[in-house]
A and B are shown apart, each in its own frame.
Chain A
Amino acid sequence: MSISLEEVEHVALLARLELGPAEKEAYTQQLNAILGYMEKLNELDTENVEPMAHVLPLANVFREDEVKPGLAPEAALDQAPDKHDNQFRVPKIV
């Protein structure tokens, strides 16, 4: 499998990255080299192997539904690039 310039542009949009023309070229070439190396994995027959997303035998972690102190609104908004009346302000969405 190889990745085309158009696919790089599509993936960049999915990842919300505005890449310049030189970056798109470079990433196309580099991602192809890296993905070429990944082809090695196809040497292995994994038909009957279970995927492992996590190393620990984890189940859901539950706790009592008790109110505990959380982040105060002022602290949560403290680092916001733009805010208004206890809310994050962003450019036009629709």
Chain B
Amino acid sequence: MELYNLPVHELHRLLVERQVSAGELTATFLERIAAVEPAVKAYLTLTREQALAGAGAVDDTTGRGEILAPLAGIPAALKDNLCTRGTRTTCASRILEHYLPPYTATVVERLEQAGMVSLGKTNMDEFAMGSSTENSGFGPTRNPWDPERVPGGSSGGSAAAVAAGEAAYALGSDTGGSIRQPAAFCGVVGLKPTYGLVSRYGLVAFASSLDQIGPLTREVRDCALVLQAIAGHDLRDSTSAHVAVPDYTAALTGEIKGMRLGVPREYFPAGMDPEVKTAVRRAVDKLEELGAILEEVSLPHTEYALPAYYLVAPAEASSNLARYDGVAYGHRAGGADNIIDMYCRTRQEGFGPEVKRRIMLGTYALSAGYHDAYYLKALKVRTLIRRDFEQVFAAYDALVTPTTPTVAFKLGEKVGDPLAMYLSDLFTIPVNMAGLPALSLPCGFSQGLPVGLQVIGRPFAEATVLQIAYAFEQATDYHLARPDLGVRGEK
């Protein structure tokens, strides 16, 4: 297999054994990007010089005989809503097209300390609002498995970059499924950690009570390694939790005998893609074969999570995005002779249609006369959703579900129908509403497109989630499949 197709832990071994240098590895990924990026369009900004300099620094440390950290010298990609000092951070929005942040996100700082080689910033739905990356202000990303299809979203650029061999791993953010859904559509592993496990400092805010940063990787072991590097309390994020961070790789035993796993019946509704259903049912059988105890369970409020989410998230977004007013940074409309007109025109010019739609929805849900009927109602339903999970987790170690009701859909298919687009996050949204950790990993194919299996854990039980995912992965070979991008010399 080509270097760009190898998992992080394999690349680390090659670096340690001096079979390849960080400089050579980075050059390989940059060549791969040059070859496939015209077809995939995963990146908004490439940081070639920085990457080569970073790799050089890692090679200097190996030259001195120092022990390499697991992520040192490994080329990675960052979703473009993670602030990087002096490197353009756009959130795929025209309003931040030329924005150079004055500070760096905690997760990026931690990865830099771990020796990350940063290749660039990836495309996304504008301000992370969307499920297909078609809402990017700078054009869509294509699914590496089929260029006519979306990579999912909002972290579509990050998922596509990893799937296409344009980065060894990537960071994304997940507010309602934005890591897991594109991971499922692109056939990679994606983890949304428990709310509060990973610092949000420097993540451009969408819906602050739901947003979490997490890894997108080829394999579960890589996911554990990246999580290890970014998890833990941060003074600069007041919602960051004071919890001990365990050794996640210690959970990768391959052993799940006797573990109790619930399969929620609400996650197999009529009308879902039958091949997706079959692939997930087979995955359930495989887990049983591995010695886990699988039983059907019920989360009765599942169908209410989506409408509640589309009140809570836009309400928080309408407040968070009030900061884009053309005063301190970002785009400002010209020609306005008073400040209200300046605000209104700046925001009209700078935001795309989905962002405006959600600001409108959120502003309406919070406005006088409607607050109790919509926003407050949604917060109460959120309590019921959380309780559903608490009840099943009293008897089960984790839950397994499909990540999405369908495989990747075609570009343009859902653009004109916001509600149809929202429904692609049906199985991922309840997890954010309850603040739980959940991981998607490849579990099969339908029409030649990847299918994702979602593993949902108790709060802060990332180790258990990784343990289950790893056992399944090692007993199957879906993680070894790579898309054929039609580039000469591939595989």
Chain B residues whose CB sits within 8 angstroms of the CB of A3 once the complex forms: 364
Contact B209 A31 (CB under 8 A): no
Contact B356 A19 (CB under 8 A): yes
Contact B380 A50 (CB under 8 A): yes
B307 on the interface (CB 8 Å rule)? yes
A18 on the interface (CB 8 Å rule)? yes
Please report the total number of B residues contacting A with Cβ < 8 Å.
68
Chain B residues whose CB sits within 8 angstroms of the CB of A54 once the complex forms: 209, 239
The minimal Cβ–Cβ distance linking B17 to chain A, given in whole angstroms, is: 42
Contact B196 A56 (CB under 8 A): yes
Contact A18 B347 (CB under 8 A): yes
Chain B residues whose CB sits within 8 angstroms of the CB of A37 once the complex forms: 307, 310, 419
Q: Per-residue 0/1 for B326-353: is the Cβ within 8 Å of any A Cβ (1 yes, 0 no)?
A: 1111111000111111111101100101
The minimal Cβ–Cβ distance linking A78 to chain B, given in whole angstroms, is: 6
Contact A92 B339 (CB under 8 A): yes
A34 on the interface (CB 8 Å rule)? yes
Contact A41 B307 (CB under 8 A): yes
Residues 29-44 of A contacting B (Cβ, < 8 Å):
30-31, 33-35, 37-38, 40-44
The minimal Cβ–Cβ distance linking A66 to chain B, given in whole angstroms, is: 12
The segment from B118-126, B173-181, B381-389, B465-473 that touches chain A is B381-389
Contact B310 A79 (CB under 8 A): no
Contact A63 B235 (CB under 8 A): yes
Contact B342 A52 (CB under 8 A): no
Query: Measured between alpha carbons, how far is A13 from B367 in the docked complex, in Å?
Result: 12
Contact B434 A55 (CB under 8 A): yes
B308 on the interface (CB 8 Å rule)? yes
B409 on the interface (CB 8 Å rule)? no
A49 on the interface (CB 8 Å rule)? yes
Chain A residues whose CB sits within 8 angstroms of the CB of B367 once the complex forms: 11, 14
Contact B99 A56 (CB under 8 A): no
B392 on the interface (CB 8 Å rule)? no
Contact A33 B363 (CB under 8 A): no
Q: Per-residue 0/1 for B268-312: is the Cβ within 8 Å of any A Cβ (1 yes, 0 no)?
A: 000000000000000000000000000000000101100110110
Contact B383 A52 (CB under 8 A): yes
A90 on the interface (CB 8 Å rule)? yes
The closest CB in chain B to the CB of A49 belongs to B380
The minimal Cβ–Cβ distance linking A53 to chain B, given in whole angstroms, is: 6
Q: Given A8-B360, A50-B383, A53-B209 in contact, is the A93-B338 Cβ separation under 8 Å?
A: yes
The segment from B64-72, B150-158, B370-378 that touches chain A is B370-378
Chain A residues whose CB sits within 8 angstroms of the CB of B238 once the complex forms: 58, 61
Residues 142-186 of B contacting A (Cβ, < 8 Å):
none
Contact of B379 among A44, A52, A58 (CB under 8 A): A52
Contact of B377 among A46, A52, A80, A82 (CB under 8 A): A46
Contact B381 A34 (CB under 8 A): no
Chain B residues whose CB sits within 8 angstroms of the CB of A11 once the complex forms: 360, 363-364, 367
Query: Measured between alpha carbons, how far is A71 from B384 in the docked complex, in Å?
Result: 42
B359 on the interface (CB 8 Å rule)? yes
Q: Per-residue 0/1 for A60-92: is the Cβ within 8 Å of any B Cβ (1 yes, 0 no)?
A: 010100000001000110111110000010111
Contact B347 A44 (CB under 8 A): no
Contact B338 A16 (CB under 8 A): no
The minimal Cβ–Cβ distance linking A93 to chain B, given in whole angstroms, is: 5
Chain B residues whose CB sits within 8 angstroms of the CB of A88 once the complex forms: 327-328
Contact A92 B356 (CB under 8 A): no
Chain A residues whose CB sits within 8 angstroms of the CB of B376 once the complex forms: 51
Chain A residues whose CB sits within 8 angstroms of the CB of B110 once the complex forms: none
Contact of B339 among A38, A43, A90 (CB under 8 A): A90
B448 on the interface (CB 8 Å rule)? no
Contact A91 B363 (CB under 8 A): no
The minimal Cβ–Cβ distance linking B65 to chain A, given in whole angstroms, is: 35
B318 on the interface (CB 8 Å rule)? yes
B246 on the interface (CB 8 Å rule)? no
Query: Measured between alpha carbons, how far is A5 from B346 in the docked complex, in Å?
Result: 22
Query: Measured between alpha carbons, how far is A77 from B374 in the docked complex, in Å?
Result: 39
B325 on the interface (CB 8 Å rule)? yes
Contact A7 B304 (CB under 8 A): no
Contact of A34 among B326, B361, B434 (CB under 8 A): B361
Contact B347 A56 (CB under 8 A): no
Chain A residues whose CB sits within 8 angstroms of the CB of B100 once the complex forms: 78-79
The closest CB in chain A to the CB of B459 belongs to A55
B38 on the interface (CB 8 Å rule)? no
Contact A51 B303 (CB under 8 A): no
Chain B residues whose CB sits within 8 angstroms of the CB of A7 once the complex forms: 364
Chain B residues whose CB sits within 8 angstroms of the CB of A25 once the complex forms: none
> What are the 9 closest A-B residue pairs judged by CB atoms, nearest first?
A55-B435, A51-B379, A79-B329, A81-B332, A18-B344, A46-B380, A18-B348, A16-B343, A15-B363
Give 16 new A-B contacts, CB below 8 A, not counting A56-B195, A71-B103, A90-B339. A11-B367, A17-B360, A33-B419, A34-B361, A38-B310, A40-B307, A41-B378, A46-B380, A55-B209, A56-B435, A79-B99, A79-B328, A81-B331, A91-B339, A92-B339, A93-B338
A-B contact pairs, 7 of them (CB 8 A): A51-B379, A52-B379, A55-B435, A61-B238, A75-B102, A79-B329, A91-B336
